Chain A
Amino acid sequence: MKVQEFIKKVQNKEIDIVEHTYKVLEECKKINKEYHYLNTISEELALRQAEAVNKNPKGKLAGLPISIKDSICVKDVESTAGSKILRGYKPYFHATAVEKAIKEGAIVIGKTSQDEFGFGGFATNVGIDLKIPLNPFDKNRATGGSSGGAGGLTQKASFAHIALGECTGGSIESPASFCGVFGLVPTYGRVSRYGLIDYANSFDKVGPLGKNIYDCALMLDVISGYDEKDSSSLNEKKDDFFNFLKKDIKGLKVGVIKESFGEGVDEKVSKHVWDGIKRLEKNGASYKETSLPITMKHGVPTYYLLATTEASTNLAKYCGMRYGASEELKGNFDEYFTDVRSKNFGKEAKRRLMLGTFARMSGFRDAYYIKAAKVRTLIIEEYKKALKNFDVLITPTMPILPPTFDELKKLTPLQDYMMDIMTVGPNLAGLPHMGVPVGFEKNLPVGMMIISDHLNEGKLLQVGKEFDKN
């Protein structure tokens, strides 16, 4: 059943939500045994919320099961951002996005698996002792990441469901692509980051993943808006997102980023994305190729230098005191903190924290961190210029089909980072963008990415709906 039909039935009291939630939780447990999409199933909370909704089935998300990426705080539910260093941490508060969804009657079914703190594009860099989520179409392949559990569960669940994911440099659109679902990344600041366990604060964004485009519009409508608890929250008027789902695309100008095709991009991926562009043309849009040379050539190093620098300071707080993992209290401050961090951070977390520490160390700061921040300005300008001529820009979401775990093992860290070539750009510029399923290559999904100007999420929905099956 589709999300909107389900919610309507709940509001009309045609569905017993407690009974339904119980079934949903059973299905989650079954899926989880095989695919590892949830780090925690919040059974007690879900059933308590279900009882409340049964009594008062109102709200835009009445009775709808939602999953929350593990890095987004849910009160009294273990929230670890996929890291052993936060094992056992139960927040005292809900993240603002979660709070808003619950107020509209959503039922929180659990915390989805991810790369530790979001440090990955394939959801294979999960924290110590955690399981890697498996692709819903082929268990030998990756879900994409870092919101891998969110993408996998969204595809696999037989029940109506929306996932709340989080994106820093591609973490919503990558799993959307590899799991064949829609994933919408709002403008930076459109959705509050309060209660989000940060990776890189000038990049992090909370956004929805859904089987249908309506699901993304609905969740965006619920979670967006100004929040005084987040100092980077934008105080801007919210659009009527649903209205954009009704608009056709006649006369819309589409810019195809030409550097996103060719060397390093799987031809099969390119073919499906071009088919998608032709479909937009057939439905009334016009397209032209455009060039973003700085972004496409230098986006990856710019992103990694800035994001890891921010991460290296944001994650300094994990030291074995106050919350999360701890060890036996011995040695001085430095010895104790080092002991806790060395034992509880996974390898990619160590690598990125060190990369970021390096980039801001005395003697290197200007050449790496500040240089990257200046290139970020040029990248933002490049997009803003292009978006003066086009309503939306298009690229493949990922340059490859969902890779097998064996293929990923052969990549060096640098080769792994280069896979983010399409997604880092809009994230550096804080632009809203959306991963849409554009086709299948044999049994594997291919994703296309749509980018629009700041605060123009509506246009993403308007164009993205052309790829909705329903």
Chain B
Amino acid sequence: MEINKELILKVAKNSRIKLTDKEIEEFVPQFKEILNSFSELDKINTENVNPSFHPVDIRNALREDKPKDSIPTEELLKNAKHKKGNYFLGPKAL
């Protein structure tokens, strides 16, 4: 796999990040160095090994299905700059 400007721009787009020209110039060789080094994991035999998504055994934790108090609307809206009435305001969807 070649790590080039095109790939970096694709990854940036998927991350919802727009890079400056200077950042692109820096990131291409840096990602090359990092990913080439990290490819060393290929050498490890992981046949029949299950992946670990947690370091300890986590059981499925469900609480009782009973309604609880939630955060009051006005408190939630306190931290938002863009709002209208009792709603958050976002960019246009259509």
Chain A positions within 8 Å of B, measured between CB atoms, are 88-90, 92-93, 187-189, 202-203, 228, 231-234, 294, 297-298, 301-302, 304-305, 312, 316, 319, 321-324, 326, 329-339, 341-342, 345, 347, 350-351, 353-355, 357-358, 361, 364, 367-368, 370-378, 380, 412-414, 417, 428-431, 454
In the complex, the answer to whether B18 meets A377 with C-beta atoms within 8 Å is no
Q: Is B78 an interface residue (CB 8 A)?
A: yes
**Across-interface contacts of A370 in B (CB, < 8 A):** 51
In the complex, the answer to whether B93 meets A333 with C-beta atoms within 8 Å is yes
In the complex, the answer to whether B18 meets A342 with C-beta atoms within 8 Å is yes
Given contacts A351-B30, A367-B42, is CB(A377)–CB(B56) below 8 Å? no
17 other A-B residue contacts (CB within 8 Å) besides A333-B90, A357-B14, A371-B46: A90-B79, A188-B54, A202-B55, A232-B54, A233-B61, A316-B16, A322-B79, A331-B91, A335-B91, A354-B8, A355-B34, A364-B1, A376-B52, A377-B52, A378-B44, A413-B33, A431-B55
In the complex, the answer to whether B16 meets A234 with C-beta atoms within 8 Å is no
**Across-interface contacts of A228 in B (CB, < 8 A):** 61, 63
Partner of A338, one of B18, B51, B63, B93: B18
Given contacts A92-B75, A337-B16, A430-B54, is CB(A354)–CB(B33) below 8 Å? no
Partner of B19, one of A301, A350, A431: A350
Partner of A380, one of B40, B52, B75, B88: B52
In the complex, the answer to whether B37 meets A301 with C-beta atoms within 8 Å is yes
Nearest Cβ distance between residue B24 and chain A, in whole angstroms? 11
Q: CA of A338 to CA of B19 in the docked complex: distance in angstroms?
A: 10
In the complex, the answer to whether A234 meets B56 with C-beta atoms within 8 Å is yes
In the complex, the answer to whether A336 meets B52 with C-beta atoms within 8 Å is no
**Across-interface contacts of A188 in B (CB, < 8 A):** 54-56
In the complex, the answer to whether B41 meets A189 with C-beta atoms within 8 Å is no
Contact residues, B29-55 vs A (CB, 8 A): 30-31, 33-35, 37-38, 40-42, 44, 46, 49-55
Closest to B10 in A: A361
Partner of A339, one of B18, B54, B56, B61: B18
Closest to A372 in B: B41
**Total residue contacts A-B, CB cutoff 8 A:** 167
Number of interface residues of B (CB under 8 A): 49
In the complex, the answer to whether B90 meets A298 with C-beta atoms within 8 Å is no
In the complex, the answer to whether A334 meets B90 with C-beta atoms within 8 Å is no
Chain B positions within 8 Å of A, measured between CB atoms, are 1, 8, 11-12, 14-19, 23, 27, 30-31, 33-35, 37-38, 40-42, 44, 46, 49-56, 58, 61, 63, 71, 75-76, 78-82, 88-93
In the complex, the answer to whether A338 meets B17 with C-beta atoms within 8 Å is yes
Q: CA of A371 to CA of B75 in the docked complex: distance in angstroms?
A: 43
- The 5 sampled A-B contact pairs (Cβ below 8 Å) are A89-B79, A90-B78, A232-B61, A321-B89, A331-B91
Nearest Cβ distance between residue B18 and chain A, in whole angstroms? 4
Q: CA of A12 to CA of B17 in the docked complex: distance in angstroms?
A: 56
In the complex, the answer to whether B76 meets A375 with C-beta atoms within 8 Å is no
**Across-interface contacts of A231 in B (CB, < 8 A):** 58, 61
Given contacts A332-B92, A377-B50, is CB(A341)–CB(B16) below 8 Å? yes
Q: CA of A225 to CA of B16 in the docked complex: distance in angstroms?
A: 38
Given contacts A333-B91, A371-B46, A375-B44, is CB(A430)–CB(B56) below 8 Å? yes
In the complex, the answer to whether A322 meets B88 with C-beta atoms within 8 Å is yes
Closest to B50 in A: A377
**Across-interface contacts of B33 in A (CB, < 8 A):** 412-414
Partner of B41, one of A89, A316, A375: A375
**Across-interface contacts of A298 in B (CB, < 8 A):** 40-41, 44
In the complex, the answer to whether A414 meets B41 with C-beta atoms within 8 Å is no
**Across-interface contacts of B42 in A (CB, < 8 A):** 367, 371
**Across-interface contacts of B35 in A (CB, < 8 A):** 358
Closest to A326 in B: B81
**Across-interface contacts of B58 in A (CB, < 8 A):** 189, 231-232
Closest to B62 in A: A231
In the complex, the answer to whether B80 meets A323 with C-beta atoms within 8 Å is yes
List 6 tightest A-B contacts by C-beta distance, closest first: A430-B55, A373-B51, A323-B79, A336-B91, A301-B38, A374-B46
**Across-interface contacts of A337 in B (CB, < 8 A):** 16, 91
